[in-house]
Amino acid sequence: MDETNEEKLLARLYLNLKGAKKKQDNWVDIAEDCKQLRDYYGSAKKVADKVGVSYELIRALLKLPPLPEEVKTLIKDEKILFDVAQRIARIRDKEKQVEVAQAVAGLRAHDARDVLQYAKKYPKEPLDDFRKRVTEGKDKIEKVHLAMLPLKEEIYSLLKTESQKKKISVEKLILLIVDQWAMTNGQVKVK
């Protein structure tokens, strides 16, 4: 590697890992740059020092290049998040890495971690059914608005007394009152 190529790699890593708010390259290409520099310098620690990032970050990035091409493609296409990709890299069997990557592609980080834990706990079980269980009902998004209301002491006391009779919180009582009002006026359908 010549000095110009080394400087380009260092600049690209700096830009992606420290400089820009949004990385310019995908995680696989960043990891490949790290690998080239690690091979050139002889250690991940030297790469971390040169770029000005933690050794742990460089070490985590260096787990990506050995992944199968199918997995790297999903990472490049941003269907698998970086932290999930690191967890996939911990799986030793390459075929299982591909199976797990396909199962977690497109999932939110938390859901992907659930699928990964299941795959680790039950390595012989298929992942499709578990993925469906994890994601069922999560596609619905309901917008909720908060309203802060100034209440005079006597009104709050009345609400508190009524909520104690019904054995619910004052907040839930207010929601019930608003829901009833909306239904009687026919303006809103309340579930």
Paired tokens of 186: 């026919």
Residue 188, pLDDT score: 57
- Domain span at 51: 3-61
Q: What are the tens digits of pLDDT across the range 28-72?
A: 999 999 999 999 999 999 999 999 999 999 999 999 999 999 999
Do residues 163 and 173 lie in contact, with contact meaning Cβ atoms separated by under 8 Å? yes
| SS3 (DSSP) at 185 | coil
Residue 141, pLDDT score: 65
Residue 168, pLDDT score: 92
Which residues are CB-contacts of 160 (< 8 A; sequence separation ≥ 6)? 170
* Of 61, 90, 110, the domain-final residue: 61
Residue 140, pLDDT score: 60
Biggest alpha carbon–alpha carbon distance for the chain: 80
Same domain, 89 and 124: yes
Residue 102, pLDDT score: 95
Same domain, 125 and 83: yes
Do residues 34 and 47 lie in contact, with contact meaning Cβ atoms separated by under 8 Å? yes
CA angle 86, 70, 17 (to 5 degrees): 40
Same domain, 154 and 176: yes
Counted domains in the chain:
3
* Of 135, 161, 176, the domain-final residue: 135
Same domain, 18 and 41: yes
What stretches in the chain show pLDDT beneath 50? 190
Residue 180's CB is within 10 A of a number of other CB atoms, namely 11
Same domain, 116 and 168: no
Residue 38, pLDDT score: 96
With 0.75 as the threshold, say if the pTM is over it.
no
